[in-house]
Amino acid sequence: MQFSISDNMVSEFISGLFAVFALIGVGAAIMLLLMGLARKFPFTRMALVLALTPFSLFRFLENSSVSTLYLYAMIVVLLGITIDGISYVLTPREAIRKEEAEPAQAEEKEAKPDPNMIVWEKAE
- Compute how many other C-beta atoms are within 10 angstroms of the C-beta atom of residue 41: 20
Angstrom distance (rounded) from CA 97 to CA 29: 34
Q: Please tell me the predicted confidence (pLDDT) of residue 64.
A: 76
Let me know if residue 118 belongs to a domain. Answer: no
pTM: 0.63
In a domain, residue 11? The reply is yes
In a domain, 123, yes or no: no
Per residue in 26-47, pLDDT (tens digit) is 999 999 999 988 888 999 999 9
**Residue 120 counted as domain residue:** no
- Looking at the domain assignment, is residue 2 inside a domain? no
Domain containing 57 equals 7-111
C-alpha to C-alpha distance for 28 and 104, rounded to whole angstroms:
36
Q: How many domains does the chain have?
A: 1
Asked whether residue 66 is assigned to any structural domain, the reply reads: yes
Distance CA 30, CA 50 (A): 9
